[in-house]
Structure 1
Amino acid sequence: MEQPLPTYQVNGAEIRKLRMQAGLSTAELAERAQISRRYLNHLENGYRTRMRPTAHSRLRAALDLRADSTQLLLEPPEGPSEKR
């Protein structure tokens, strides 16, 4: 059976705070991170709380956060062998 891909549980309020500090609109940050504006809006408002590693990496880069930054995370990433 195929294992689920790992995901990161992210802090939407922190994403919004950092976006606003950077002086970016939702559309601007979404474009920089190569994600949809709707997806970013859902993350910021808590409708969605999980991201795949590639999207998380692009969002960190768009916000000029270090590659090893955990600032956007609520908890460590879940791997295929960990419980959800």
Structure 2
Amino acid sequence: MEATPTTFQVNGAVIRKLRMKAGLSTAEAAKRARISARYLNHLENGYRTRMRPGSYTRLRTALGLPADSDQLLALAEDPPEER
């Protein structure tokens, strides 16, 4: 059984894109996810990049994504090439 991560690293640009696609303002999406609009704004602008599991789940739900979706997650950077 896998343990739940303590935080999720998210992609703010994807969050903004999905929020806008859903037709939600920052305030509306934040209210649905039970997070502050300022926190959501910080995520979207890259000032913050990590979310706790509860907040992450609520935001994913507020944006209408399925439970198994990982669309909000930041992709791991490719390892540097060897010379």
Which one has a bigger Cα radius of gyration? 2
Q: Same fold (TM over 0.5)?
A: yes
- The aligned counterpart of 2:81 is none
Identity of aligned residues (%): 72
Question: Hey, which of these two has a bigger chunk of strand by percent?
Answer: 1
Moved over 3 A (4+): none
TM-score (norm 2): 0.83
Alignment of 1:18-57 (within 5 A): 18-57=18-57
For residues 60 and 15 of structure 1, the distance between their equivalents in structure 2, rounded to whole angstroms, comes to 9
SS at match of 1:73: coil
Q: Deviations over 1:3-53 (max 9, x none)?
A: xx7100000000000000011100000000000000000000000000000
For residues 29 and 60 of structure 1, the distance between their equivalents in structure 2, rounded to whole angstroms, comes to 10
Alpha carbon RMSD of aligned pairs, Å?
1.3
Residues 6, 53 of structure 1: 8 Å contact kept: yes
- The aligned counterpart of 2:64 is 64
For residues 23 and 47 of structure 1, the distance between their equivalents in structure 2, rounded to whole angstroms, comes to 23
Count of residues in correspondence between the two structures: 72
Gaps of 5+ in 1: 77-84
SS at match of 1:17: helix
TM-score (norm 1): 0.82
